[in-house]
Structure 1
Amino acid sequence: MPRSKNKVTRPKPSEENVKKAIEMVIQKRLSIRKAAEEFHVSKSLIGRYVKINKEKENVEVVYQPQNDVKRVFSDEEEEQLVKYCLKASKFHYGICKDDFLKLAFEYAVILTKTYPSAWDINKKAGKTFYEYFMKRHQSLSLRKQEATSLARATAFNKANVNLFFDKYKGLLSKYNFTSERIYNVDESGLTTVHTPMKVLASKGIKQVGNITSAERGNNITIIACVNALGNSVPPCMIFPRVHFNLSTVHFHKNVSHGTNISVPRYEP
């Protein structure tokens, strides 16, 4: 019979109760079944620790969940996987969930680890392994990547950053610029099509529509300029239109005071 997809969270027994139950069984004062009933501990847990400690005079119990006992990788081996994923992400070649499961399977094969037979069939680790791995390593999370060009990724390095600040310090010392005379200008593109939110609709239908200004949309370019003191120059908004009328209210509704709205000029 297949296991239920609904996860059942059982309360963990206290370490004190586990220790007392094992001591009672080893000292032959209670049977495993009686100890399980009296201390509210599962019989399999008591039997496992009795087998481990039956030859010891002083019983010292360290409670570990069953999923820890059947782990594929040790703490050190999992730490290597975490470091690899973080390093790949910093190099802008992040590993997605499916690639990570394939990597874990190949890692287990190389280390000749004992793993579930389903790994061999699917050629990747299972969903349960992924869930427990992510719980054990809170430094990892699934993040959405941002498109970064190769030129920007390779240009942002220690040598270029040091060169920039060396020249920047040289200009400051030469001309004695104050904070109100140091400006930073940048441009950004904003799409004219918003992302529709999730709505309640009928089950089973293939498509649920939402009215927007367009399906793809065009970008509006916004140029902003701010100085080191916190003052800003009114922004400039460039609309990709051939015919443009400044009297059209909705183009400059609720914009900042002094915003310059224009369109690119097309030569005939």
Structure 2
Amino acid sequence: MDNSNIAILSTVINKELYKKSSQLFPSNIQKYVIDGINGMHGLDSVFYMMKMLRGRNIEWLIMADEDVLFENTKMVFDIIKKMESQNYSVCGIRDGGLVSHRIHNPYLINTFFSIINFKEIEFIWNKKEVLKNQYCIENEFQDDLSNLRGSYDTFSIYEPYYCFYIWLRRNKKQFLFLDSNQPFQEDKITNAVYFEDKVLLYHTWYARSYGINKKHTVRINKILELLKFENKITQNPIVFKHKTFFIIKSVGKLYKRITMRFQIMVNK
């Protein structure tokens, strides 16, 4: 497979953890980072991703948070081959019914790990249309959910970024959903993601707490030990930082508060 058109992107809030986890990322592909320390994440990160990566000749984009620890990176390329041959546009795990603390929409994915056909999405990209899709319709999607082990809500719009995936589904883009569970007795948070019944990666969650909170630091370090991690490689990703994002968001929130107070006064 030609890796020149494959890239991996992480929205990073914990640089210390990224320096470690990125050493376990698939090799020989371009690595990109969106600096999320200023609060950029979720849907804002998706929009910034589409802006900054357009025109870079990327066909397949792997999206992985810094708390994703890969066990078998070669599987990523096997997944891409399957997506390519079977016309899948998006791959990930359902955001409900699999992980005990994710009880939201099973028709959509959680962005901690996904693979998207970036070239295909880039061609149809329309930010305004994406924003119009933050709603659910009863029985719109016909997925077989009978094998889901946990709780879920098919009408959930819990995450603001859901509109991105709902928009893709309404544009008839096919989703490849991977299986996931929580394999450790002593760690009720970390989940494993599988491809063809083999562990692809572990998602540890709580990236923000690594190096700060003892419980989560110890827990994540145990997974690194399990993977026989050795801190050797220095990564040099291309980093994108929206320098005015925090100011723009703060002004926007202030404007909303003032507008709401004004409306309350008018309605009295």
Q: If the TM-score is normalised by the length of the shorter chain, which range does it land in? A: under 0.3
TM-score, normalised to structure 2's length? 0.19
* Bigger strand share: 2
* Bigger helix share: 1
TM-score, normalised to structure 1's length? 0.19
Larger Rg: 1
Identify which of structures 1 and 2 has the higher relative contact order when contacts are C-alpha pairs closer than 8 Å and 6+ apart: 2
